[in-house]
């Protein structure tokens, strides 16, 4: 719902949900995550048009993230509840960006703002890394992506990726953001080659880069120490 409304210049904070086909207001009992989709057999109650599988998939992913992060951070690592809540918010925002860029090739500014404000508040009180270091890392990350954007004339990536790179550098800081960028470029290249071979896409075909950035950022964000040690052991065995 958030992904679709943000990309249709609609507020996700007000107004009832409507069927995108017949525009009828969706009843509350037809709007229960996951359950309603299967009870309705994936079709609108009024017009019988099929409901996109995006909705149950994103709802399921959100549930998995919520439970999985609790088991990982609270039960396994025994971190404070503040770390769990912040990690949950970061994961939710990254999921929205992932789906939005994958489907619409847009990185919503509203989500970036929420992520930036939440990160600023959390790191100001709960991070050993100074905010100045995080801002500098974010600036250099954004500058690097801006240079890529200018050198490719916007064909390699969009300005949304440039803004996203700032937040990745700010949240992960140095050197963790380097691993996220490296993994994103590597996985993006591999997926691009696979799509070219399987679907006949050519090198000029547009493939959203944001989802690769988001996924690799999330992985590094949760397992930063282990990934740091892994790459450092390769560089300095």
Say if residue 107 is in the same domain as residue 186: yes
Tell me how far apart the alpha carbons of residues 67 and 36 are, in angstroms, rounded to a whole number. Answer: 21
Say if residue 142 is in the same domain as residue 177: yes
| φ, ψ of residue 43 in degrees (nearest 5) | -135, 150
Q: Tell me which residue range forms the domain holding 36.
A: 1-51
Say if residue 129 is in the same domain as residue 28: no
Say if residue 47 is in the same domain as residue 96: no
Q: How far is CA 80 from the centre of its chain?
A: 23
Say if residue 153 is in the same domain as residue 84: yes
pLDDT given at position 197: 76
Say if residue 30 is in the same domain as residue 11: yes
pLDDT given at position 127: 87
Q: Is the pLDDT assigned to residue 81 strictly greater than 80?
A: yes
Tell me how far apart the alpha carbons of residues 222 and 87 are, in angstroms, rounded to a whole number. Answer: 8
Say if residue 32 is in the same domain as residue 87: no
Say if residue 46 is in the same domain as residue 77: no
Last residue of a domain, one of 30, 51, 72: 51
Say if residue 60 is in the same domain as residue 47: no
DSSP assignment letter at 153: T
pLDDT given at position 101: 92
Count Cβ atoms within 10 A of the Cβ of residue 204 and give its class: 0-12 exposed, 13-18 middle, 19 or more buried.
exposed
- Indicate the number of domains in the chain: 2
Tokens of 67: 């439970």
Tokens of 66: 């919520």
Q: What is the mean pLDDT of the chain?
A: 90
Say if residue 126 is in the same domain as residue 197: yes
Tell me how far apart the alpha carbons of residues 215 and 184 are, in angstroms, rounded to a whole number. Answer: 8
Say if residue 161 is in the same domain as residue 144: yes
Say if residue 34 is in the same domain as residue 136: no
pTM: 0.91
Last residue of a domain, one of 33, 51, 69: 51
Instruction: Kindly report, residue by residue over 154-187, the tens digit of the pLDDT.
Output: 776 789 999 999 999 999 999 999 999 999 999 9
More confident of the two residues 56 and 8: 56
């Amino acid at each position: 719902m958030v992904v679709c409304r943000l990309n249709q210049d609609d507020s996700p904070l007000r107004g009832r949900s409507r069927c995108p086909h017949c525009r009828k207001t969706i009843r509350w009992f037809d709007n229960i995550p996951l359950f309603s989709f299967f009870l309705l057999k994936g079709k609108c109650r009024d017009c019988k048009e099929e409901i996109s599988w995006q909705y149950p998939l994103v709802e399921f992913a959100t549930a998995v993230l919520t439970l999985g992060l609790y088991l990982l951070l609270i039960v396994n690592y025994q971190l404070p509840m503040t770390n769990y809540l912040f990690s949950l918010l970061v994961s939710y925002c990254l999921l929205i960006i992932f789906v939005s860029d994958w489907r619409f090739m847009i990185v919503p500014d509203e989500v970036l703002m929420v992520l930036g404000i939440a990160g600023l508040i959390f790191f100001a009180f709960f991070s050993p890394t100074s905010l100045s270091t995080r801002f500098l890392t974010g600036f250099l990350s954004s500058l690097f992506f801006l240079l890529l954007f200018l050198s490719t004339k916007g064909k390699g990536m969009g300005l949304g990726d440039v803004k996203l790179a700032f937040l990745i550098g700010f949240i992960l800081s140095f050197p963790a953001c380097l691993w996220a960028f490296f993994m994103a470029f590597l996985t993006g290249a591999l997926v691009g080659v696979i799509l070219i071979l399987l679907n006949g896409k050519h090198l000029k075909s547009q493939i959203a880069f944001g989802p690769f950035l988001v996924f690799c950022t999330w992985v590094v964000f949760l397992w930063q120490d282990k990934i740091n040690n892994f790459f450092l052991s390769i560089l300095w065995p």
